[in-house]
């Protein structure tokens, strides 16, 4: 009888351990997913900000060139 009780206890411990491992793995995957999503959002923001800066710089250069062209009579 004692060996049956020990076997039952062993099975319960193994089941609880497996559940804990599964839960830990699931939690770890969620953390990885959230970090990946946050990283992607950050990269998207950097890309957007960089493109806006490039566009503004290009517009300013174009306006400056146009102004100089008008000043020196190259452009109307």
pLDDT at 67: 79
Total-model pTM: 0.57
Note whether 16 and 24 are within 8 A (CB): no
Grouping H, G, I as helix, E, B as strand and the rest as coil, residue 36 is helix
Scan for tokens 């990269």, then name that residue. 43
pLDDT at 34: 95
Cβ-based neighbour number of residue 74 at 10 Å: 10
pLDDT at 49: 96
pLDDT at 70: 73
Instruction: Tell me the per-residue pLDDT of 1-58, one tens digit each, with 9 for 90 and over.
Output: 567 788 888 899 999 999 999 999 999 999 999 999 999 999 999 999 999 999 999 9
């Amino acid at each position: 009888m004692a060996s049956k009780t020990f076997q039952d206890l062993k099975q319960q411990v193994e089941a609880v351990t497996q559940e804990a491992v599964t839960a830990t793995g699931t939690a770890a995957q969620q953390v990885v997913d959230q970090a990946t999503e946050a990283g992607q959002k950050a990269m998207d923001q950097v890309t957007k900000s960089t493109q806006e800066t490039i566009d503004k710089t290009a517009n300013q250069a174009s306006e400056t060139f146009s102004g100089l062209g008008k000043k020196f009579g190259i452009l109307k």
